[in-house]
A and B are shown apart, each in its own frame.
Chain A
Amino acid sequence: MDMNAYLSMFIDEAGDHLQALNDNMLQLENTPEDLTIVQAIFRSAHTLKGMAATMGFEDLASLTHEMENVLDLVRNSKLRMDSFIFDTLFKSLDALESMVQDITAGGAGSADVSAIVASLQAIVKGDYNAGGGPAAGGAAEGAAGAGDSGLQLDQYQVSVLQQSMDSGHQVYHITVTVREDCVLKAARAYMVFDLLERHGEVVKSEPSVQDLEQEKFDRTFTVFAISSLSQEELQQQIAAISEIEEAAVTKLDPESLQILARPNVPSAPAAPSAPPAAGAPEAAREAKRQAAAAKAQTAAAGGALPRTIRVDIDRLDTLMNLFSELLIDRVRLEQLASEIRKPELTDTVEHLTRVSGDLQNIVLKLRMVPVESVFNRFPRMIRDLAKSLGKKVELVITGAETELDRTVIDEIGDPLVHLLRNSIDHGLESVSERIAAGKPETGTVHLRAYHSGNHVFIEVEDDGRGINREKVKNKAIASGILTAEEAGKMSDDEIAMLIFAPGFSTADTISDISGRGVGLDVVRSKIASLGGNVTIRTSEGKGTKFSVELPLTLSIISAMLVKLGSEKYAIPLSSIAETAIIRQEQIRLIHGNRMIEYRGAVIPVLSLSRILESPDYDESAEEETEVIIVRKGDKWAAVMVDEFIGQSEIVLKTLGSYLPNTDIVAGATILGDGQVALIIDPNGLIK
C-alpha cells in the first residue's frame, strides 16, 4: 500500500483539526476557565499528533506533542492559561499550519520550530510549573515515544467503547498469535478482522491496520473490538481460522477500560488483561471525566455524526458535465415528443423530465458548501488584526450555515478578507476615539450570510466611523475620477461606491493592513467575475455596511430564449423584470436618447440587434416590437428583441479560453436542437 493514498486524506483531516484547534483556542481565550474546551483542544492536538506520526511527519508530530504537554497541564488544572501561553500556542498553530501547507505543496512538512518548542518547554518546566513536576516528568517520558501510541486508547475510542458497554454490547480485548510457519500473515490478520467486523466493529488495533496489511508485525497483534458474540464463541471462531496459533479473548469491564484510557501511562502490551494499577483511583477518576467530556461532545453534535464521504471535486465536475449533457438531450426529447404527439412517448418524456428535475436538484446540492468553511478562518484573523492595531473588536457571525456553490466558495474568501480588513482598519475607530464618541470601546463587526431568492447575500457591517463623504469626494475630484459638478449630484451611497474605484484610498497613512489603494477595486472585480455585485450603505459616525450579492449557483440557470432574425440568444431570467410589447410611436427621443415611459418612469430603449450587430434583423421596420425590461440595481432599460421563444433551463458554458467572455456575452449554452446560443448579460447592456 502506498502512503500517497492517505496523503490527501491526511491533508484534509489535518486542515479540519487545525481549524478546530483555532476555533477552540479562540473560545478558550474568552472563557479561560472552561476545561471542557481544553479537553477538546487536547483531543484535536492528540489526533493530529497521531496522524502526523503515522504519516512520518516527525516535526509536525513533535511540535504537536509539545503542545499536548502544555495542554495536559492545563486540563489537569496544574497550569493556568495566560496571554503568554495563548500567544505561544497560537504561534504553534501557525507553524503547524505552514507545515501542513508545505505538505500540501508536496514538501516534507519539516520546519525549524525550535524557538516555539523552547517556549512550550519553558511553559511546561519553567515558572509555570509550580506543582506540576510529576506530570511534566510523565509528559517528557511520553515525548520519547511521540506517535507510538502503544496500547493506549484515545478519548474518542474510549468513548466509543464506553457507549457500546452502556448500550449492552460486549467489548473485548483480543490478542491473536499466528503460527510460526504462517506464510500469509497479512491474509490471516485480514481474516480475523473480517470475522470481527461481521459480528461487530474493530475500534483499535496494534499494530495499525495498515501495518498489519503490509505484514509489518511479528506474530502477534492485539485488537479492541465490539462484538455481539460471547467470549467463548469469539475465541472458538478466531481459533478456527487456519494458521492461527492462539487467540486470547478478554472481556473488558468499564474499570479496566478507564485505566487503559489514561494517556501517557506506558501500559504493558503483554499483559493488557491485567492493566497497570498505577495511580488507580486518581487515574480512574481522570479517565471518567475525559470519557464523560468526550461523550458530551458527541451528544452535542447530535448523537450520531452525519455520515459523509469526501469526494474529489473533479468527479463532481464530471458528474455535473454529464448531467448537463443529459439535460440537453431531455430538451431535445421534449421537442421531439411535442412534434410526434404520441401519448406513450409524451408520458415517458414527462416522467423523464420529473426525474431529471429531481436529479438536477441533487446534483446542484452536492456542490453546495456552507459558507462556514470560509467564515471559520475569520475569527482568528480578526483577533490577530485587532491585536496588531490595538483595537478591540468583536466579530459576530450569523448564517454560517448558508450554502453556496463550491466554485463561489473557493473564490469568495479573498474578497471577504479585504472587506473585513477594511472594516477593522478604516471603519472602526481606535479605543480612545470610540470612548470620545460615546461608543462602547469594543467595536462590533457583523458578518452575515443569508439566502434571498436565487441569491446569497454576505454582509460585512461595522459600527465604526462610517465613510466621510467630503473626504471621499475631495479625493475623487483630486484624482480626477469625477468633476466637482458631478460629485454635487451624487447621493451618499453613490459617493461611497467611489472607494471601489481603482487606485482609490482615503487612508491618511498607509498601513500594513490596507490603505494602499489596492484591494477594494480588486474586490469589486472579483465579485463581478462571480456574477455578483457589491453595494455600500454608510452613515457617518454610525458605521458602514458592505453587502455582497452572489448567485446561488453558476452552472444551471433559468433563461428566456429570444430570437433576433435567424439568431437565438438566452437572457438570464434573474435579470428580467418583465416583458412587454411596445409600439414604435411610444418611443420618444429625449436629448438624443430613445426612451419610453414605463410604469411612470422614463427609461432608455436599447436595440439588441444593433448592439450585437445582428446581420438579418432590424426592429425599426416593425410597428410593434417585443421588449424585455431589465434592471441593474436601480437602473432600468427596455431591450428590444425580435421574438420571444420561451423560458428554459440552460446549462452555462464558457466560450472556451480562446474567446474570453465580454461584458455583453456571459457565456453560451447548447439548445435542444444542438445549436449553440449565446447568453446575454443584461448588466453589460446598462452602463
Chain B
Amino acid sequence: MGEELKVIVFALANEEYGIEVDKVRTVERMAPITRVPKTPPFVKGVMNLRGVVVPVIDLKGRFGLKETEPTEQSRIIVVAVNDMEVGFIVDAANDVTDIDEDAIDQPPEVVGGIKAKYLRGIAKLDDRLLIMLNLSEVLNKNEIVQLEQMEA
C-alpha cells in the first residue's frame, strides 16, 4: 500500500479529474469575473475572493477542449501552487475521495485530448478512472508567454 492521497474530484467535459486537496484553497460557485484585456482566450479574468484578486482560467480552454457556457453545476476551484493562486472553471466539483498513491499509473500520451505533460497519472478507483493533473505544468507561465507570442 502506498500513501493515501485525498483528492477533489471534478468533471471536465465527460471525464473525471483529481487535484490533491492540499493544493486546493477553496471551491466556489460561479461569481462575477472581470475581463482582463490582452490575455489568452482561456484566461477569463479576475474575481474577488474575499478581498484577494484571483485570476480565473477556463480549464477546458486551457487544455484546448471546447469551452461551454457555465451551468448551475459549474464551480471555480481555487488552487495555490508555487506562490500562485488561480481559479479553475470546471463543469462540476462535488466529491472528495481517498486514493492510493500506488494506484496512480503513468498516463498514456494523450488522454481525452489533453497532452500528457499536464497529467500526473491516471488513478484507478473501483470502476472509475481519475485523471490526476500536474498543476505546476498547467500553470506554467512560459507557456502563456509562448501562446501570446503565437497570437501576436
Contact residues of A with B, CB < 8 Å?
321, 324-325, 328, 567, 611-613, 615, 653-660, 662, 664-665, 668, 670, 674-678
Contacts and interface: CB of A to CB of B under 8 A. Distances in A.
B34 A675 contact: yes
A678 B38 contact: no
B34 A676 contact: yes
Contact of B52 (A611, A653, A677): A653
Nearest to A680: B37
Contacts of A615: 35
Contact of B36 (A325, A611, A653, A665): A665
Contacts of B86: 656, 658
B53 A657 contact: no
Contacts of B32: 674-676
25 contacts: A321-B51, A567-B35, A611-B37, A613-B37, A653-B53, A654-B53, A655-B55, A656-B46, A656-B53, A656-B55, A656-B85, A657-B84, A658-B85, A658-B86, A658-B139, A659-B55, A665-B36, A665-B37, A665-B38, A670-B53, A676-B34, A676-B47, A677-B34, A678-B34, A678-B36
Contacts of B39: 659
Interface in B80-138: 83-86
Interface of B: 32, 34-39, 43, 45-48, 51-55, 83-86, 139, 141
A48 B86 CA distance: 48
Contacts of B36: 655, 659, 665, 678
Nearest to B38: A662
Contacts of B38: 613, 662, 664-665
- Nearest 9 Cβ contacts at the A-B interface: A676-B34, A612-B37, A668-B53, A659-B55, A653-B53, A658-B55, A658-B84, A325-B51, A658-B86
Given A659-B55, A665-B38, A676-B45, 8 more contacts: A567-B35, A655-B36, A655-B53, A656-B85, A658-B86, A674-B48, A676-B48, A677-B34
A556 B139 CA distance: 30
A655 B84 contact: no
Nearest to A653: B53
A567 B34 contact: yes
A374 to B, nearest CB: 27
Contacts of B48: 670, 674-676
A593 to B, nearest CB: 22
Contacts of B51: 321, 324-325, 328, 670
A328 B47 CA distance: 15
Contacts of A321: 51
B34 to A, nearest CB: 4
B136 to A, nearest CB: 12
B83 A676 contact: no
* Residue of A655, A658, A662 with most partner-chain B CB within 10 A: A658
Nearest to B54: A656
Nearest to B50: A325
